[in-house]
């Protein structure tokens, strides 16, 4: 065997192949590597893109506990900020919920997802972990057998194959793991009929709370990211490109919907990023198909109305890591057999709350009898949330919980 062949054989095999270098994939990689499990991460993007993908920024208390448990929380402790207040603005006035003092008395930690991913990646590489960027997984084959293979396209365009004992699909809902699921796999999908324009603004936060504004023109949201960057959302007409509105129009609409005439002006700044987000939810069931296991957005996609996606991803990664370590290091398959059921319990609870938030934040479309009923129900929910301590405790527990 030539030296080149030796290198290819070593490189193209592992106990666990992890597809995708997001929160789920990198958390899983760190936990497996720390336990001495041979694993490799395959990521289709380059390193710079992975470390700058702007996503969610609110980590739940349980997510922080998971990261602390495994020595992965140093960065968020240094740079993250505790947050426990949200503010609702409507035509009928506004109110605040100090949700950190309600329910289980738990807060979020504001920490941009790209910073968390950078921390996880740095920790993994510093510990000697293996990752291949610009390596796109195309298909997972033979997952029903003991040694599945993953067909990939390498950074130089060359096709190749990797072999493993298990494949962890953490590569999102459009990735190779989902494309390779067997016939008969259940996909539960819901289009909520709502579209957002997601914005990242070079502007300091204008509220010391998460802001939810319910306006006749549509929903607007305000979420702090850093001292100089703020995330905004605007309910948006479906099918309109993200660049259709000028910055002037965006800020005019945000000022209107956030009721700045009553509550004071927003800090304006340059729009750094914009994207159109159709609010959809889906869940794959089951999450295990032989040697192929799903986690993160490949397993489920909660609509981004309650900041559940990254938090579910970290929780699922820990459960999957524990199960794979039991199987590969101790020959105990019981946790792996329970993996799908345990994750789905958390997933459906998160999906239910995300659906409730969507119904709360968005007015029905169209002036018909059903829409009037929907709107009356929505106003009743808002009033109950404003006045009922029981309702507030329920909201707090589900808002931060996962």
Report whether 20 contacts 175 (CB < 8 A): yes
To the query of whether residue 83 is one of the catalytic residues in this protein, the response is yes
Q: Catalytic pick from 99, 124, 304, 346?
A: 304
To the query of whether residue 111 is one of the catalytic residues in this protein, the response is no
Report whether 88 contacts 99 (CB < 8 A): no
Q: Catalytic pick from 83, 108, 346, 355?
A: 83
| Residue 112 tokens, joined | 């941009």
For residues 402 and 400, give the distance between their C-alpha atoms in angstroms, rounded to a whole number: 7
Reduce the secondary structure of the chain to three states and give it as a string: CCHHHHHHHHHCEEEEEEECCCHHHHHHHHHHHHCCCCEEEECCCCHHHHCCCCCCCEECHHHHHHHHHCCCCHHHHHHCEEECCEEEEECCEEEEECHHHCCCCCCEEECCHHHHHHHHHHHHHHCCCEEECCCEEEEEECCCCCCCEEEEECCCCCEEEEEEEEEEECCCCCCHHHHCCCCCCEEEEEEEEEEEEEEEEECCCCCCCEEEEEECCEEEEEEECCCCCEEEEEECCCCCCCCCCCHHHHHHHHHHHCCHHHHCCCCCCEEEEEEEEEEEEEEEECCEECCEEECHHHCEECCCCCCCHHHHHHHHHHHHHHHHHHHHHHCCCHHHHHHHHHHHHHHHHHHHHHHHHHHHHCCCCCCCHHHHHHHHHHHHHHHHHHHCHHHHHHHHHHHHCC
To the query of whether residue 391 is one of the catalytic residues in this protein, the response is no
To the query of whether residue 148 is one of the catalytic residues in this protein, the response is no
Q: Catalytic pick from 233, 236, 339, 399?
A: 399
List C-alpha distances in Å: 281 to 1, 43, 120, 172, 305.
50, 24, 27, 13, 11
For residues 173 and 137, give the distance between their C-alpha atoms in angstroms, rounded to a whole number: 13
| Displacement of CA 90 from its chain's centroid (Å) | 28
To the query of whether residue 212 is one of the catalytic residues in this protein, the response is yes
Q: Catalytic pick from 99, 124, 166, 212?
A: 212
| Displacement of CA 266 from its chain's centroid (Å) | 27
| Residues with catalytic roles | 83, 212, 304, 308, 399
């Amino acid at each position: 065997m030539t030296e080149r062949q030796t290198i290819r054989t070593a490189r193209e095999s592992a106990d666990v192949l992890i597809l995708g270098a997001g929160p789920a994939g990198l958390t899983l990689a760190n936990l497996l590597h720390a336990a001495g499990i041979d694993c490799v991460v395959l990521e289709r993007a380059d390193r710079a893109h992975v470390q700058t993908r702007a996503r969610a920024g609110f980590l739940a208390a349980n997510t922080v506990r998971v990261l602390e448990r495994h020595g992965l929380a140093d960065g968020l402790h240094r740079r993250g900020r505790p947050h426990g207040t949200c503010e609702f603005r409507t035509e009928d006035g506004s109110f605040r919920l100090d949700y950190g003092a309600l329910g289980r008395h738990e807060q979020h930690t504001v920490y941009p997802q790209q910073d968390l991913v950078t921390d996880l990646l740095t920790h993994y590489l510093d510990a000697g972990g293996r990752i291949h960027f610009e390596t796109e997984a195309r298909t997972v084959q033979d997952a029903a057998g003991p040694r599945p293979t993953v067909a990939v396209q390498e950074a130089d365009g060359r096709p190749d194959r990797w072999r493993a004992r298990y494949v962890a699909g953490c590569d999102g809902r459009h990735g190779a793991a989902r494309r390779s699921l067997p016939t008969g796999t259940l996909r539960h999908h819901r289009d909520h009929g709502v579209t957002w324009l997601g914005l990242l603004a070079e502007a300091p936060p204008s509220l010391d709370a998460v802001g939810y504004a319910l306006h006749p023109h549509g929903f607007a949201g305000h979420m702090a990211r850093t001292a100089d960057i703020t995330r905004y959302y605007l309910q948006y007409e479906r099918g309109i490109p993200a660049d259709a509105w000028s910055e002037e129009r965006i800020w005019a609409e945000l000022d209107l919907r956030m009721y700045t005439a009553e509550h004071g002006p927003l800090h304006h700044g340059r729009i750094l990023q914009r994207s159109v987000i159709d609010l959809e939810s889906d869940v794959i069931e089951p999450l295990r198909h032989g040697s192929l296991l799903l986690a993160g957005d490949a397993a489920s996609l909660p609509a981004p109305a309650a900041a559940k996606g990254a938090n579910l991803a970290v929780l699922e990664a820990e459960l999957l890591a524990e199960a794979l370590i039991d199987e590969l290091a101790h020959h105990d398959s019981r946790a792996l057999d329970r993996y799908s059921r345990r994750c789905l319990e958390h997933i459906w609870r998160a999906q239910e709350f995300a659906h409730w938030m969507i119904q709360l934040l968005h007015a029905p479309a169209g002036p018909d009898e059903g829409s009037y009923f929907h709107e009356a129900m929505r106003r009743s929910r808002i009033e109950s949330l404003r006045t009922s301590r029981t309702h507030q405790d329920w909201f707090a527990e589900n808002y931060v919980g996962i």
